[in-house]
Structure 1
Amino acid sequence: MILQLLFVLMAIIIGARLGGIGLGVMGGVGLGILTFVFGLQPTAPPIDVMLMIAAVISAASCMQAAGGLDYMVKLAEKLLRKNPSHVTLLSPIVTYLFTFVAGTGHVAYSVLPVIAEVATETKIRPERPLGIAVIASQQAITASPISAATVALLGLLSGFDITLFDILKITIPSTIIGVLVGALLSMRVGKELVDDPEYQKRLAEGLFDNKKIEIEDVKNKRHALVSVLVFMLATVFIVFFGSFDSLRPSFLIDGSVVKLDMSSIIEIVMLSAAALILLLTK
């Protein structure tokens, strides 16, 4: 079992280093080793979760192609640069909102270099805002109405008369409070940058690159804004469908009324949002 775990961890590490689709394909390599070498029987793949992820990524990809994500990052950059002294508090809020809207923590990556630069310029230890910003982006996954984790939990609780709104009214406040408390505690992590001997040593040796990170303006702000609004509107629709069963389509099957499940609704709404972004922003 330990050897099997080592192979799984190795596949994950290599996939993470490859980045992008590398994590997915290395997962296939790990599964192949467990199946053909160790003789373990694979379980049924989580098709609903995979389709939901594909639908959300399709909509997010269209939003990115229209400049929506770049537009959001530009707004975040302006907010952080206007309030550099509060970067430790603002950075986790920014990454939390990014993940909450998109349903995945990967969208927060693009703003991390800006956080590090603003913190360094303000003589704040970069690990303070960076650490809590990454944590906030992952905490938001459990609060996002379109994340696979939230939908999976909704499916597990479907027989207990619990709606999506019931889940969100617990996960959203609890994660926000936790992130803010973590941000306050992060402000005291380590020595102040000006008092850190390692920082002073590297500064004296000229090892710091003074080149500023500049995020280019979005070429078509109108298309970018439209794509963000469409994506957010789709998210709102999903919250409503998940919170009020009466809004979900129902079908008469074998004499019993069956409501359309949330995984199908998320797939339909997000693919429709992707199509609408394509049509409106070309």
Structure 2
Amino acid sequence: MFWLELLVVLLAIFLGARIGGIGLGVMGALGLAVLVFVFGLQPSVPPVDVMLMIVAVVTAAGALQAAGGLDYLVHLAEKMLRKNPKQITFYGPLVTYLFTIVAGTGHVSYSVLPVIAEVATDTRVRPERPMSIAVIASQQGITASPISAATVALLGMLSPFGYTLTDILMVAIPSTLVGVFAGALFASRMGKELDKDPEFLAKLEDGSFSFLAKKPDHEVVIPFTAKLSVYLFLLGTILIVLFGSVESLRPSWESNGVKTMLGMPEAIEVIMLSIAAAILLFCKASVDKTVKGSVFIAGVQAVIAIFGIAWMGDTFFKGNMPFLEAGLKSMVTAYPWLFSFALFVLSILLYSQAATVRALVPFGLGLGIPAASMIGMFPSVNGYFFIPNYPTIVAAINFDRTGTTRIGRWVLNHSFMIPGLVATVVAVAIGLLLTSIIF
């Protein structure tokens, strides 16, 4: 029965990925229905806390976008990139990495990628180099953000083991940052120089490409409300880190001699919804624009994906834990790092770090893998660059007007493969090293 149930799970994941959007969630729910009503597995508890935290964060991020806060961040990024055009392969990914950390979603890179492509082209740096690693950096930033869905999900599962948000960040941030830098080093040597690339030279010769993009001849005016929305959002992020790091800051109550402290899931939900309210009240953010913005829509899709896929995966693993323990427990406990391969492969299939964490980490913990090792392996959930059809990858290819950022003849030999593999492998290696030292 195990193999038939596994086939159902894989088929649901495959169909959901093909459909895209909310497809992962609804196909996951369909797979869950088969597991429950056909195979008789007892459904696990749905990941309600994780979903509510994500809803709170994306509501605040959506309000930030509606208030013009993301436009302000893009304006600052553009000024920095234009001051250092020759180092675009290193500064470009740094910008997308920081944007993702602040916003909690890699989809904010859509607004920066055109700038990176334009600056690279204007300075005759092969755009493939900064564009490829910039997309990878936006994915790595997910596992370094205190408010991303993936980090929130991991925190919820590791809290019972005594690990805090600070414990996760003090490993995830340096490991992913080093990984991104290593990926940038490799990316900086990719392909021919732009003025020697035959495809680009052909475009120049036939007149189908205008080399220098037109720059605005006036200074962009950023309203104070847009700046204020950024400050408020950053305040919310800082408060989450503080409450997650210093438990004494969180309120507690005593009832019948039992002391209860405000949990981090509830703290994140209250703080981010309050920040969303403040942005709506003081920054002239439209409610209609908030819910129709790309950030909010992407976040809601993530919630639905986690609801279906994670619930199905959790039900499958718990229902088959005796069988899996017999075959895998001795191996993964002796070599915990092997579990990072499972995380990487599942993330390729799910196209979601949060859904991967929620579906597979409880299974790993159940097999006896140390919680600290899970923190070190966290960056391995950034595998969805492997198949080049994720929206940020497609966007990067389209934004590069020179044609250097591309999908290869054999599909998998695309521009993002080497930077992605280097960044992920280095980040996991550094993460496991740090966990062995710190914990």
* TM-score above 0.5: yes
**Counterpart of 1:176 in 2: which secondary structure?**
helix
1:10 aligned onto 2:11: no
Match of 1:199 in 2: 200
Q: Summarize the alignment of residues 37-52 of structure 1 with structure 2, pairs less than 5 Å apart.
A: 39=38, 43-52=44-53
70-79 or 222-231, larger mean C-alpha shift: 70-79
TM-score (norm 2): 0.58
Q: Which runs of 4+ in 1 moved over 4 A?
A: 1-4, 35-43, 213-220
1:31 aligned onto 2:28: yes
Amino acid at match of 2:28: L
Q: Summarize the alignment of residues 219-230 of structure 1 with structure 2, pairs less than 5 Å apart.
A: 221-230=223-232
Inter-CA distance 44–219: structure 2 relative to 1 (3 Å threshold) = farther
Is contact 2:155-2:164 (8 Å) kept? yes
| Inter-partner Cα distance in structure 2 for 1:84 and 1:51 | 41
Match of 2:254 in 1: 252
| Inter-partner Cα distance in structure 2 for 1:156 and 1:189 | 39
Is contact 1:143-1:168 (8 Å) kept? yes
Inter-CA distance 112–220: structure 2 relative to 1 (3 Å threshold) = closer
Is contact 2:236-2:272 (8 Å) kept? yes
Match of 1:163 in 2: 164
Amino acid at match of 2:244: G
Deviation at 1:172, TM superposition (A): 1.2
Amino acid at match of 1:125: R
Is contact 1:70-1:218 (8 Å) kept? no
Deviations 1:14-59 (A, max 9, x none): 32xxxxxxx12x2344135435677466654311111111111111
**Counterpart of 2:125 in 1: which secondary structure?**
coil
TM-score (norm 1): 0.87
| Inter-partner Cα distance in structure 1 for 2:242 and 2:33 | 45
| Inter-partner Cα distance in structure 1 for 2:77 and 2:98 | 10
Inter-CA distance 179–113: structure 2 relative to 1 (3 Å threshold) = same
**Counterpart of 1:157 in 2: which secondary structure?**
helix
237-246 or 104-113, larger mean C-alpha shift: 104-113
Deviation at 1:161, TM superposition (A): 3.0
| Inter-partner Cα distance in structure 1 for 2:8 and 2:210 | 43
Inter-CA distance 10–204: structure 2 relative to 1 (3 Å threshold) = farther
Gaps of at least 5 residues in structure 1 are 16-22
Amino acid at match of 1:239: V
**Counterpart of 1:251 in 2: which secondary structure?**
strand
Deviation at 1:159, TM superposition (A): 3.3
Inter-CA distance 166–36: structure 2 relative to 1 (3 Å threshold) = closer
Match of 2:239 in 1: 237
Deviation at 1:257, TM superposition (A): 1.1
Deviations 1:182-211 (A, max 9, x none): 212211011111222222223223332558
Match of 2:280 in 1: 278
129-138 or 201-210, larger mean C-alpha shift: 201-210
Match of 2:110 in 1: 109
261-270 or 143-152, larger mean C-alpha shift: 143-152
Inter-CA distance 194–220: structure 2 relative to 1 (3 Å threshold) = closer
Gaps of at least 5 residues in structure 2 are 1-5, 285-439
Q: Summarize the alignment of residues 121-160 of structure 1 with structure 2, pairs less than 5 Å apart.
A: 121-160=122-161
| Inter-partner Cα distance in structure 2 for 1:79 and 1:175 | 22
Inter-CA distance 88–247: structure 2 relative to 1 (3 Å threshold) = same
| Inter-partner Cα distance in structure 1 for 2:242 and 2:137 | 25
Deviations 1:228-280 (A, max 9, x none): 00000111010000001111111224532121111110000000001111121
- The sequence identity of aligned pairs, in percent, is 56
Match of 1:80 in 2: 81
| Inter-partner Cα distance in structure 2 for 1:280 and 1:66 | 10
Is contact 2:165-2:245 (8 Å) kept? yes
| Inter-partner Cα distance in structure 2 for 1:37 and 1:204 | 58
| Inter-partner Cα distance in structure 2 for 1:107 and 1:248 | 31
Q: Summarize the alignment of residues 59-70 of structure 1 with structure 2, pairs less than 5 Å apart.
A: 59-70=60-71
Higher relative contact order at CA 8 Å, sep ≥6: structure 1 or structure 2? 2
Is contact 1:113-1:213 (8 Å) kept? no
| Inter-partner Cα distance in structure 2 for 1:218 and 1:252 | 54
260-269 or 250-259, larger mean C-alpha shift: 250-259
Deviation at 1:218, TM superposition (A): 6.6
| Inter-partner Cα distance in structure 2 for 1:57 and 1:218 | 27
Deviation at 1:153, TM superposition (A): 2.3
**Counterpart of 1:257 in 2: which secondary structure?**
strand
Inter-CA distance 209–35: structure 2 relative to 1 (3 Å threshold) = farther
| Inter-partner Cα distance in structure 1 for 2:7 and 2:210 | 43
Match of 1:93 in 2: 94
Inter-CA distance 219–56: structure 2 relative to 1 (3 Å threshold) = farther
Amino acid at match of 2:133: I
| Inter-partner Cα distance in structure 1 for 2:8 and 2:247 | 47
| Inter-partner Cα distance in structure 1 for 2:128 and 2:228 | 35
| Inter-partner Cα distance in structure 2 for 1:43 and 1:49 | 14
| Inter-partner Cα distance in structure 1 for 2:67 and 2:191 | 41
Amino acid at match of 2:175: S
**Counterpart of 2:254 in 1: which secondary structure?**
strand
